[in-house]
Structure 1
Amino acid sequence: MGEMLTKATLPGVLAQVRHVTPVRPAAAQGLVAQVYAQVEREFGMLAPPVILHSPAPQTLAASWAMLRESLLAEGTHSRETKEAVAAEVSRANSCPYCVDVHQATLDALLRTRPAPAGGPARSPELVAVSATFHYLNRMVNVFLGPSPLPPRLPVAARGLMLRLFGLIMRPAAAKPRAPGAAAALLAPAPLPADLAWARDVPHLAGAFAGAAAAIDAAGRRSVPQGVRELVTSCLDGWDGTPPGPSRAWLAEPVSGLPPAQRPAARLALLTAMASYQVDQEVVAEFRRQEPSDLTLVEFTAWASLAAARLAVRRSLSDSHPTPHERT
């Protein structure tokens, strides 16, 4: 079913990805081919938020491992509950594409199954979903448009098309997936201290430790040290409030860097702190210095995961109950 749906949707899926050229399934080899096979089989199709990573194979495997082991893998929480968290986080991050996908999937599941009972938002499974979507929302805002639906679709038809999209996604979403399959795509790595929330759930610990190691290595390759230090410093002092509404806030933090590094710093800070403000101009300015697809994917993945890890640390340190915990 996944292979058939991929063939039917492939032209539209590839066309959704901007700034980079994703690897076509027929050309996929090695790790990319392994990830594509799992995505087709378990997600039901080659989803654009995954394949946009394909120019960087290790980063592709890392993103899929986090998504698969947090959202798809069977555990103590229902898929409906996880989809609700995914949609909620995506709204908070101003990622309309992910809101459309995961709200439509949730609505379709709820047509045939009872509403989720909820659960503590600090449980490892739901923290993992939150961390994954804090990461993916940023990558999606950079590399995809505002919706999986065709851009010229009349507004009046959106509701019907989203219901149809949810019905297409429902069979794969309703099927339980055994944990651990995607974590095996990554090299084993120690679990960083800030991801200790995952340590008692082996498939989450393996996936997030491996993904963090892969994306940290990508950052060392593709993000200049001065830019990494600037982003880390800015995130340490950030309370999560969206900056803006313009991009004027970037001028002060990047002013201390050499002029040649400022385009990279602007892209990294926007990706981490206001990914919805990244546009063609910002990316083109970066690519005049760093033209490869691999570098662009690794660069933005590092900034996205740095921000996602901060968001989770901040939520876990908050002493006040979250909406999920009050219900």
Structure 2
Amino acid sequence: MAPTLVRLALRRALRETRYVRPVTFGRASGLVRDVYRQLERDFGMLAPPVALHSPSPPVLAASWLMLRESLAAAGETSRADREVVASLVSQANSCPYCVEVHGMALGSLGYASTASAVAAGDAVPDPRSGALSAGGRAELTAVAFTFHYLNRVVSVFLGASPLPPSVPDSARSKAKAVLRRFLKPVSGVSPGLALDFVPPSADSVAWAAGNPVVEDAFSRASSAFAALTISPVVRDVVLRELSTWDGSPPGLSRAWVDSVEDPAARLALVVAKAAYQVDDALVAAAGLGDRELVELVGWSSFVAAQRCVVLETRAAR
């Protein structure tokens, strides 16, 4: 875990969150408090991409469950394997915040860049690799799923960098060097300890077969997101559009969503297909409170991540 002063500074980084007001560490109670404590212990810090979900405790718990059991917990694949997958997915989703964070995490593991980690042959970036066991494939697919999810959430609620805008350009390289030291992965994180934060589920997760902890974690997360109060209009629009989506970005223009009349559905669809296009006007038009906005963005990001994994699994056959 990071030293106390650094840990406190990282907690304050939640102030940079857009559109919603996350629960601070000092005011956290119940499920939020329990997740925050485990997050700091097992991830080394109160990571803003997770903590920003705190206006909705069930979504906070589900998002942490996915991240912990895919990226942080010990398993068949190495942390370098997983960081490479996280970085490559984040690059594909145009999420500079996550690219920077996981590039720094790879740096803390001794790699100059994602490309150097791949070139070294120590990391396997493709979850479809025939060299992996079923359990190993499930682990890396879980990382890809998690970052298809988190990239969308981060694009909406956080800036382009984990460093605050107040850090001047002249000091950014030194600040990154300091932060990199505290992004070194925590070792010895036991699998399965976040499961109890989310109720059990009978939902099937076919791609996770062969890894009981990952399968259980993503089954619980799937059920948690499905149970959110999302309007039928939003569900119908997003699920209908995703059912025929091939995963390609829709382009720079947002004309492709202009025909959607409901403002919440329009926001949800942009989050699903091109979260980097979300702006102040789109969020304001939806007129949602903090919890409702976190749940809308979370649900839309989750179903989009499901679609991405389905497409990637089909491509592997």
Q: Spell out the pairing of 1:211-290 with structure 2 (5 A cutoff).
A: 211-218=221-228, 221=229, 223-252=230-259, 254-255=260-261, 262-287=262-287, 290=288
Unmatched segments (≥5 aa) in structure 2: 129-136
User: What does residue 10 of structure 2 align with?
Assistant: 9
Q: Contact conserved, 2:105 with 2:183, CA < 8 A, in 1?
A: yes
Distance 1:24 1:116, change over 3 A: farther
Q: Which amino acid aligns with 1:247?
A: R
* Farther off after superposition, 265-274 or 199-208: 199-208
Give the superposition deviation at 1:139: 0.3
User: What does residue 54 of structure 1 align with?
Assistant: 54
Matched, 1:64 2:73: no
Unmatched segments (≥5 aa) in structure 1: 256-261, 321-327
Give the superposition deviation at 1:100: 0.5
Counterpart selection for 1:197 from 207, 211, 235: 207
Q: Spell out the pairing of 1:87-106 with structure 2 (5 A cutoff).
A: 87-106=87-106
Q: Which amino acid aligns with 1:47?
A: A
Which whole-Å CA distance do the structure 2 matches of 1:118 and 1:45 have between them?
24
Distance 1:135 1:163, change over 3 A: same
Which whole-Å CA distance do the structure 2 matches of 1:58 and 1:236 have between them?
26
Q: Which amino acid aligns with 1:124?
A: A
Q: Contact conserved, 1:191 with 1:205, CA < 8 A, in 2?
A: no
Q: Which amino acid aligns with 2:141?
A: V
Matched, 1:177 2:189: yes
User: What does residue 310 of structure 2 align with?
Assistant: 313
Which whole-Å CA distance do the structure 1 matches of 2:241 and 2:38 have between them?
37
Which whole-Å CA distance do the structure 1 matches of 2:173 and 2:315 have between them?
36
* Farther off after superposition, 178-187 or 60-69: 178-187
TM-score, L = length of structure 2:
0.90
Q: Which amino acid aligns with 1:83?
A: E
* Farther off after superposition, 124-133 or 147-156: 147-156
Distance 1:67 1:87, change over 3 A: same
1:129-151 deviation digits (Å, cap 9, x = unpaired):
00000000000000001101122
Which whole-Å CA distance do the structure 2 matches of 1:212 and 1:149 have between them?
32
Give the superposition deviation at 1:9: 2.6
Distance 1:162 1:2, change over 3 A: closer
Which whole-Å CA distance do the structure 1 matches of 2:257 and 2:280 have between them?
17
Q: Contact conserved, 2:150 with 2:301, CA < 8 A, in 1?
A: yes
Counterpart selection for 1:161 from 175, 179, 186: 175
Q: Contact conserved, 1:3 with 1:41, CA < 8 A, in 2?
A: no
Give the superposition deviation at 1:200: 2.0
Q: Which amino acid aligns with 2:122?
A: A
Displacement over 4 Å in runs of 4+: 154-157
Q: Contact conserved, 1:3 with 1:40, CA < 8 A, in 2?
A: no
Give the superposition deviation at 1:2: 4.7
1:98-146 deviation digits (Å, cap 9, x = unpaired):
000001111111269x956233513101000000000000000000011
1:27-73 deviation digits (Å, cap 9, x = unpaired):
11111111001001111110100111000000000000000000001
Which whole-Å CA distance do the structure 2 matches of 1:177 and 1:14 have between them?
24
Which whole-Å CA distance do the structure 2 matches of 1:156 and 1:82 have between them?
31
Which whole-Å CA distance do the structure 2 matches of 1:164 and 1:81 have between them?
23
Distance 1:2 1:187, change over 3 A: farther
Which whole-Å CA distance do the structure 2 matches of 1:174 and 1:42 have between them?
6
Q: Which amino acid aligns with 1:211?
A: A
Give the superposition deviation at 1:164: 2.4
Distance 1:23 1:314, change over 3 A: same
Counterpart selection for 1:134 from 148, 152, 170: 148
Q: Which amino acid aligns with 1:294?
A: R
Q: How many matched pairs?
A: 301
Counterpart selection for 1:118 from 120, 123, 126: 123
Which whole-Å CA distance do the structure 2 matches of 1:152 and 1:6 have between them?
19
Which whole-Å CA distance do the structure 1 matches of 2:225 and 2:141 have between them?
19
Distance 1:209 1:307, change over 3 A: same
Which whole-Å CA distance do the structure 2 matches of 1:9 and 1:308 have between them?
27
Q: Which amino acid aligns with 1:217?
A: A
Say what the alpha-carbon RMSD is for the aligned residues. 1.8
